Amino acid sequence: MSARLDGALAVVTAGTAGIGRAIVLRLAAEGADVIATGTSEERAAALRAEGGGAVRTLVGDGSTLEHLAELTRAVGEDGRAVDVLVLNAGRDVEATPIVDTTPEMFDHVSDLNFRGTFLTARSIVPAMADGGRIVLVSSIAGHNGGPGHSVYNATKAAVRSLARTLTAELADRRIRANAVSPGPIATAGFDRFTGGSAAIEQAVAAQIPVGRIGRPEEVASAVLFLATAESSFIAGAELVVDGGMTQA
């Protein structure tokens, strides 16, 4: 039985750690060749070692036009059309009320989360195969508007909205765009959020009907579904992976 992405070319932003790393390894396991971006050469090297020859990496700041130009060149040098584009890059600052959020803090978050995501789509979509799939990694933060993270929340809502617009604009090429919105997931980012406190983690888990924090591999499974023909009649939609937290 052949893998679901045999011979496909995938691009995954922020793919060397956390959720992105799990996505890269899952796509590669299903037969895709993956170009993954990241910010750490050490993590990139470890990912290449685990992914074998199926994984190539590009290290840089995903919010800059220089990095985007390098990614576009790498895709062009491959010589194949991109079948799957996963836009996963995102970051936040320490919890800060709106009135204390500086323009620099605003730019730091929005330049990667939305501007970088938008410009990456703008650059890579022309290199995509007709019938390709785009998966944007949003967050339930785009729904719940939690205090102290106003810019992150708003940019993740914008990322979810972008899935709708891309689907509408690319309908003539049969390119489907969908969003995946994770809840609390066991990553380094979640550890920073809790400060390593087991009590805080337990308090968060208590709000989730499934009763625990999610795993990066569970988000990767959702992304894989949207990246294959199994989701062929799903477009412009959002798949929430939060253990029921937003429904509780």
Select from 54, 58, 48, 50 the least CA-distant residue to 30. 54
Whether pTM exceeds 0.85: yes
Pairing of strands 82-87, 9-12: parallel
User: Is residue 11 classed as helix, strand or coil in its secondary structure?
Assistant: strand
Select from 165, 156, 140 the least CA-distant residue to 240. 140
What residues are annotated to the active site? 152
Q: What is the DSSP letter of 111?
A: I
What are the tens digits of pLDDT across the range 72-105?
999 999 999 999 999 999 999 999 999 999 999 9
CB under 8 Å to 248, separation ≥6 — which residues?
Answer: 207, 208, 209
Query: In order of start, what are the domains of the chain with their CATH numbers?
Result: 9-242 (3.40.50.720)
Cβ contact 47:56 at 8 Å: no
> Residues in the chain with pLDDT < 70?
1-2, 248
Q: What is the spatial distance between Cα 183 and Cα 158, in angstroms, rounded to a whole number?
A: 17
